[in-house]
Amino acid sequence: MNKLILPLLLLFVGCMVKAEFKNVFDPKTMTSILLSSTFSNEIFSCTERSNTKSFGNIDQILLKCNRELAKVDTEFLTSINEETFNNITFTKLGNDQLLVQFDPLVSDGKYDLKLQSVVSGFGETLEKDTFPIIIDTQLPTVSLSNYLPITDYTFFSERYWDFTSSEPLSHFSPPTLSGSLAPSIIIRSIQRISDSSFRVYFETNFISNGPGTLIFSFEDSKDKAQNPVTNSTTVRLIGLVKGPELNQGRSEFEGFQNQNGDVIAIYGYNASAEILRKGTNTFVLTNPSLPSIGKGERGVMLDGKKLLITGGFPPYTYISLSESYIFDTETTSFLPTGNMNQNRGEHNIVKLANGKVMVLGGISQVFPGSHFITLNSAEIYDPNTETFTELPNRMQSPRSFFCSVLLNDGRVFVVGGTNGIYAPMDTTEFFDPTTETFSFGPNLPIAVGALKCLKLSDGNVLIYGAQLSNLSNATMLFDVTKNRIITIANSVYRREWSIAQELPDGGILFYGGAYRYNTSEPSRTIEKLDYGKSNSFYDMGMARNSISKHSGVKFSDGTLFYLGGESGGMFHHGTDYYGLTE
Sheet order of strands, 97-105 included: 46-48, 58-65, 97-105, 89-93
Q: What is the CA angle 536-541-544, rounded to 5?
A: 135
Packing angle, helices 30-39 and 5-15, rounded to 10: 160
6 DSSP assignment: H
Q: What is the pLDDT of residue 520?
A: 53
Q: What is the pLDDT of residue 133?
A: 87
CA-to-CA separations, 56 to 52, 59, 88, 193, 508, in angstroms, rounded = 12, 10, 19, 31, 49
Concatenating the DSSP letter of every residue in 471-531 gives: T--EEEEEETTTTEEEEEEE-SS--BT-EEEE-TTS-EEEE--BSSTT-S----EEEEE-T
Phi/psi zone of residue 450: left (φ > 0), alpha (ψ -120 to 50 degrees), beta?
left
Among the listed residues 123, 95, 122, 126, the one whose alpha carbon sits nearest the alpha carbon of residue 113: 126
Q: What is the pLDDT of residue 53?
A: 52
Q: Residue 160's beta-bridge partner residues? A: 201
Q: What is the pLDDT of residue 19?
A: 42
Residue type for position 169: L
Please, are residues 490 and 510 in contact by the beta-carbon 8 Å criterion?
Answer: no
Greatest Cα pair distance in the chain = 134
- State the CB neighbour count (10 A cutoff) for residue 32: 24
Pairwise CA distance, residues 103 & 91, whole Å: 15
Pairwise CA distance, residues 438 & 520, whole Å: 39
Pairwise CA distance, residues 432 & 352, whole Å: 11
Pairwise CA distance, residues 535 & 111, whole Å: 49
Q: What is the pLDDT of residue 517?
A: 59
Q: What is the pLDDT of residue 12?
A: 47
> What is the separation of C-alpha 226 from the centre of its chain, rounded to a whole number of angstroms?
34
Residue type for position 14: G
Among the listed residues 551, 543, 546, 514, the one whose alpha carbon sits nearest the alpha carbon of residue 527: 543
Q: Residue 112's beta-bridge partner residues? A: 132
Q: What is the pLDDT of residue 38?
A: 52
Among the listed residues 418, 411, 408, 413, the one whose alpha carbon sits nearest the alpha carbon of residue 376: 418
Pairwise CA distance, residues 211 & 143, whole Å: 22
64 DSSP assignment: E
Pairwise CA distance, residues 471 & 443, whole Å: 19
Among the listed residues 286, 204, 197, 304, the one whose alpha carbon sits nearest the alpha carbon of residue 248: 286
pLDDT in tens, the chain (582 residues): 444 444 444 444 444 444 443 444 444 444 554 555 455 578 999 998 654 455 456 889 999 999 999 999 999 999 999 999 999 999 999 999 999 999 998 777 789 999 999 999 989 999 889 998 888 777 899 999 999 898 888 899 889 999 999 989 989 999 999 999 999 999 999 999 999 999 999 999 998 889 999 999 998 999 877 889 989 999 999 999 999 999 999 999 999 999 999 999 999 999 999 999 999 999 999 999 999 999 999 999 999 999 999 999 999 999 999 999 999 999 999 999 999 999 999 999 999 999 999 999 999 999 998 899 999 999 999 999 999 999 999 999 999 999 999 999 999 999 999 988 888 999 999 999 999 999 999 999 999 999 999 999 999 999 999 888 777 889 999 999 999 999 999 998 888 889 999 998 899 999 999 876 555 567 788 999 999 999 999 988 889 888 999 999 999 988 999 999 998 889 999 999 999 766
Pairwise CA distance, residues 244 & 352, whole Å: 33
- Structural domains in the chain? 1-39 (no CATH), 40-135 (2.60.40), 142-237 (2.60.40)
410 DSSP assignment: S
Q: Which residues neighbour 516 within 8 Å (Cβ) at sequence distance 6 or greater?
A: 467, 494, 496
SS (H, E, C) 232-270: EEEEEECEEEECCCCCCCCCCCCEEECCCCCEEEECCCC
Among the listed residues 320, 308, 395, the one whose alpha carbon sits nearest the alpha carbon of residue 357: 308
Burial of 351 (0-12, 13-18, 19+ CB in 10 A): middle
Classified as helix, coil or strand, 139 is coil
Question: Between β-strands 130-135 and 53-54, what pairing exists: parallel, antiparallel or unpaired?
Answer: parallel
Please, are residues 218 and 231 in contact by the beta-carbon 8 Å criterion?
Answer: yes
CA-to-CA separations, 342 to 73, 308, 359, 403, in angstroms, rounded = 104, 16, 10, 19
Pairwise CA distance, residues 20 & 27, whole Å: 10
